[in-house]
Amino acid sequence: MSKEIILTGLRANGTFHLGNYLGGIQPMVNLQRDKAGEYQINMFVPDLHSFTTPVEHQHLFRSTITNLKMYVAAGLDVHDPDTFVYRQSYIPAHSEMAWILDCFAYFGEISRMTQFKEKSDGQANVSVALFNYPVLMAADILLYNAKWVPLGDDQKQHLEITRDIGERLNNKFGTELFVLPETWDKQLQFAQREVSVRIRSLVDPTKKMSKSISDPRGTIELTDDPVEAAKKVMSATTDSLGKIAFNFAEQPGISNLLQILALLTHQSQAAVNTEWEGKNSYGDLKKAVAEAVQVFLTDFQTKLAAVDEIALMAKLEESEERMREATAPVLYRVQQAVGLRPQE
């Protein structure tokens, strides 16, 4: 394993919608396609993170497998020798390393994490795990000496705290215990992106598409009937301006439709905008997007039904064995440094 490592997480629980696919799944599949061969790609399932907030525990294991199958249906090549797909909870070093890092993470710096504040706001009972999960995330990264960690904009603080904790231990023990992930600016440059894709609700385009939104008409699930999904698009909220323009500030509904159309038809945003901007028929735009959504879901669901679960499980088990071997010496080196193992 001499190649530089790209590490990224694959969501374990809950169901996927079109926003998840276009903003998360598709970029990961593209990452593998573009980088495999040149880099080692660690695509891990952060299943221990899954119940930092309430979850249906009896469905978690099956949900993990179902969601992995969706990545395969989207084009993830589980046969690629440079790609490792593994579940966090199957690599004990993640939990062991997290506790050690906990002892060098400061309450003040963790309490400033924006995501904790947002997810805990208004909650009567907030788990310690929700507060603490940035440290487990640091362990997820530092265990593999991963330089490249493609993350969404809302994860910037987590990358920074990972670098801070890793550097703190390196300095304290006078040795390079960890390879630090590159800085945020370098991560963006590596991923060749300026902003993340964020698909909006079809009902309220000022908000992102989400399962948590109470009105299901605004969210297209990847398991929706393709015809019914197309109807959701035809009922999408637009505006009364009467002229198509790509401008999220003034026309979020129309801009959201243009964005979805570009991503589903594999065209640049500029090309789609050139075709549609200045026209005044919102109905024609909705029909084009509805057709693209229907074609996409029909094709995706056919591929999903054909995924070989036996081959997927074999890949998981093989990768998990390799990752247990890879993380053992890193964990041992840290255990030695903090005095848990004999010096050699």
Enzyme catalytic residues: 119, 208, 211
What residues have CB less than 8 Å from 23, skipping those under 6 apart? 152, 196, 197, 198, 199
| 173 phi and psi angles, rounded to 5 deg | -105, 5
Question: And the tokens for 137?
Answer: 């995330």
CA atoms lying within 13 Å on the CB side of residue 164: 15
The DSSP-derived string for 135-169 is: HHHHHHHHTTT-SB----GGGHHHHHHHHHHHHHH
Single-letter code of the amino acid located at 159: L
SS3 assignment, position 198:
coil
Whether the CB-CB separation of 140 and 42 falls below 8 Å is answered with no
What element of type H or E holds 84? strand 83-87
Place of tokens 């294991």: 61
Q: What is the CA radius of gyration of the chain?
A: 22
CB atoms within 10 A of CB 117: 10
CA distances from 279 to 202, 233, 245, 272 (A): 20, 18, 8, 12
Question: And the tokens for 256?
Answer: 């959201």
